[in-house]
Amino acid sequence: MTSESYAGHGALVNSVPGSRTATPINQPPRQADRVSRETLAPMQDSETPALIDDTPIGRAAQRAVEALGRIGEALPRPAETRVVVVANQKGGVGKTTTTVNLAASLAMQGARVLVIDLDPQGNASTALGIDHHAEVPSIYDVLVDGKPLADVVQPVVDVEGLFCVPATIDLAGAEIELVSLVARESRLQKALIAYEQPLDYVLIDCPPSLGLLTVNALVAGQEVLIPIQCEYYALEGLGQLLRNVDLVRAHLNPRLHVSTILLTMYDARTRLAAQVAEEVRSHFSAEVLRTAIPRSVRISEAPSYGQTVLTYDPGSSGSLSYLEAAREIALRGAPGGEQAAAGAGAATGGAPDEQYVADPASPGVYHQQPAQSIGPQGMPAHEQNTMEGNR
Ligand SMILES: Nc1ncnc2c1ncn2[C@@H]1O[C@H](COP(=O)(O)OP(=O)(O)O)[C@@H](O)[C@H]1O
Ligand SMILES: [Mg+2]
């Protein structure tokens, strides 16, 4: 969807914070020149008022007006900094895309947000327009050399209240270098505790593995956000990730829990996407956000301009869906928010390869069924050592 498609519905087009007037060399085509190829966000907001025009474009226009009207409208702030680990050991499921776009959405709605890029590929840094060539001080210096986080944080130019700790290619070696260091699983946690700037959210973009970098993120955070791509095999590997979360909670970080599952790359035209979404919702009813992120050309184009979709095409379905997802996350975490209800009666039923049951005492905590011992034997060998060394 493009800006002009809702121009007739309100005067908000030119008042979007983050939309630019200057045109950088690699600026994407002007919005007026674009033709949308997007599917629409399958939002399920029951509060959507009567539609002006009951066509797909009309409905999208209506949502754009509403969502854009909300940019700058403050969300409730969490009582303490929420450290959210965006993890899934599968590659290409939308971890980085989700991290940067959620972070921008939260910041544009008034929060102070830090993104920590923990993937040696540095894709989150790229998407936020942050320089991350080899000489740039980065998360590698924090983890391996103990440099203070404050020395490597950079502001994101386009979005007020958004900051980034970049990753450089050096990080590729950190997985091995960390093994011989003291307190190798809690180096990120230490750095975050020592960072004194006020923050509402820290979002950590994990690499596609369950090694020491991801373990550092899980030890530093309280919440895990799992993006799930609405494709075949969506749930494959999820059991392993949940086992790792269980292990880290048992041995290293008792506060850790899976707070949020986000369906990504949802294509409303395919039955498969609907089936996957239904299956994930049936297992994790309390954690899955109502908002799913649609497959969107604008979302995939934005990083090549060093932008999030929020500034690249604010009125697109991808931008709106991330704004809405951010809003859900903020409201759930607010005092007295939906989080209190989350977890009750969640997740039974059978997954393709295993079953998960919610722990009635701890919202967001899952155990596998049939009851099998959750212990270090489920971890990759080097992570078993990691866990045991810490006891
Ligand atoms: N909602 C979406 N619509 C279209 N493309 C997407 C969407 N989300 C992610 N992508 C694209 O899919 C690829 C993988 O996404 P990415 O966020 O890098 O995954 P991960 O970090 O899990 O490896 C990227 O090329 C990204 O641009
Ligand atoms: Mg990534």
92 C-alpha to ligand 2 centroid (Å):
7
Which ligand sits closest to the CA of 225?
1
Q: Which atom of ligand 1 is nearest to the CA of 227?
A: 22
- Cα-atom radius of gyration of the chain, to the nearest Å? 20
Torsion of CA 100, 102, 107, 112, to 10 degrees: -80
Element (H, E) at 357: strand 355-358
Q: What are the chain's domains?
A: 66-341 (3.40.50.300)
Q: Please, which residues bridge with residue 367 across strands?
A: 357
Q: Among 300, 316, 323, which residue has the most ligand 1 atoms within 8 Å of its CB, making it the best to mutate?
A: 300
Q: Which atom of ligand 1 is nearest to the CA of 99?
A: 17
Q: Which atom of ligand 1 is nearest to the CA of 208?
A: 23
| Cβ proximity of 174 and 144 under 8 Å | yes
Which ligand sits closest to the CA of 95?
1
What's the half-sphere exposure (Cβ side, CA atoms, 13 Å) at 189?
19
292 C-alpha to ligand 1 centroid (Å):
14
Is any ligand 1 atom within 6 A of the Cβ of residue 298? no
Each residue's pLDDT tens digit in the chain (391 positions)? 333 332 222 222 222 333 333 333 333 333 333 333 343 333 333 333 333 345 555 555 555 556 656 665 678 999 999 999 999 999 999 999 999 999 999 999 999 999 999 999 999 999 999 999 989 999 999 999 999 999 999 999 989 999 999 999 999 999 999 999 999 999 999 999 999 999 999 999 999 999 999 999 999 999 999 999 998 888 888 999 999 999 999 999 999 999 999 999 999 999 999 999 999 999 999 999 999 999 999 999 999 999 999 999 999 999 999 999 999 999 998 766 654 334 332 322 223 334 445 555 555 555 444 332 222 222 333 333 333 333 3
Q: Which residues contact 139 (CB under 8 A, 6 or more apart)?
A: 116, 117, 118, 152, 165, 166, 167, 171, 188
DSSP assignment of 256-311 equals -EEEEEEEESB-TT-HHHHHHHHHHHHH-TTTB-S--PBP-HHHHHGGGGT--HHH
Q: Which residues contact 377 (CB under 8 A, 6 or more apart)?
A: 384
3-state SS class at 219: helix
